[in-house]
Amino acid sequence: MGRYQRIGITVKSAFDRKDEAVARVVQILKKEKCSLFVDAQRLKELGCTRGCAPIDGKQKLDLLVVIGGDGTVLRAIRELKNFSTPILSVNRGTVGFLAEIELKEAAAVLPELLRGQGIVDERSLLRVEAVRRRKTIFTGLALNEAVIAQGTIARLIDLKTTINGEDLTTYRADGLIIATPTGSTAYSLAAGGPIVHPAFGPAMILTPVNPYSFSQKPIVLRGDSNVAVTVHMKVRKFTDIEVSLTLDGQVYMPLEEGDLIRITIADKTMKFLRRRHDTFLSTLRKKLKWGER
């Protein structure tokens, strides 16, 4: 009998040979005598999951297996009711920085992890709050990043940024990314931000998107920092600029002139089941194709 017995399964909504991928994982889990609970919305049509109880948010799951790419993991986290449940990601996407195992190695690695031969890796989350005219209008969590950005071509916005109440700068840019170490390999990296090893611990990486000033560079802040960003979009002649707040590329909210966004490290953490040896550097080499000529 394994350490992880009550297993939830969710999957990317659509991809090639989805039924085959799910069936391979289900077969392994059943062989390990696990009790299976499935994402009924995305798995109800598959024969291999017939007879499995649906995930209703009330069960105490030992583990949530996510079959897909990083986007599927982020969606699963957004829907997660209990943050004490660790996630194991089986990659069926492309880049897959959050994935621990590839589908082709599931038969060899998954049983070992279920039997307790892995470790639980805790990752920090951002707590993001939007305030409009002194009233909180939105609160959310992000594993990768919060992005404040304009959606109009070639129209800069001003983002007045303070750290722990002290002025940092006013970014004149297309936007600003506030990322965790986990998110340092996502949008922040594409915008020129640094890669930060997840074992670095709680931290926030501020990366401006196409800043007007060459002196405004990415900065890494301590995890106990309080970041506040005030949005200014009508200080110049254009008044039709659209600005939004986006969490992990999935939660979207339009912003108005003067809105205040507050970002801190959340008191909750996200847990991932991983192999005992550190796979982050090998993931960088593989996914970013480092060392290839």
Active site residues: 70
The DSSP secondary structure of 30-77, one letter per residue, reads HHTT-EEEE-HHHHTT-GGGTTPEEP-S-S--SEEEEEE-HHHHHHHH
Of the candidates 206, 201, 203, which has an alpha carbon nearest to the alpha carbon of residue 188? 206
3-state secondary structure of 193: coil
How do 203-209 and 101-102 pair as beta strands?
Answer: unpaired
Pairing of strands 101-102, 118-132: unpaired
Sequence-separated (6 or more) residues with CB below 8 Å from residue 112:
118
Residues in the chain: 293
Q: What are the CA-CA distances from residue 231 to residues 70, 176, 261 (Å)?
A: 29, 11, 8
Tell which residue, 219, 198, 197, has the closest CA to residue 207: 219
Q: Which residues contact 28 (CB under 8 A, 6 or more apart)?
A: 106, 107, 110, 111
- Pairing verdict, β 203-209 and 63-68: unpaired
State how far the Cα of 55 lies from the Cα of 6, in Å rounded to an integer: 11
Say how far apart CA 81 and CA 67 lie, in whole Å. Answer: 18
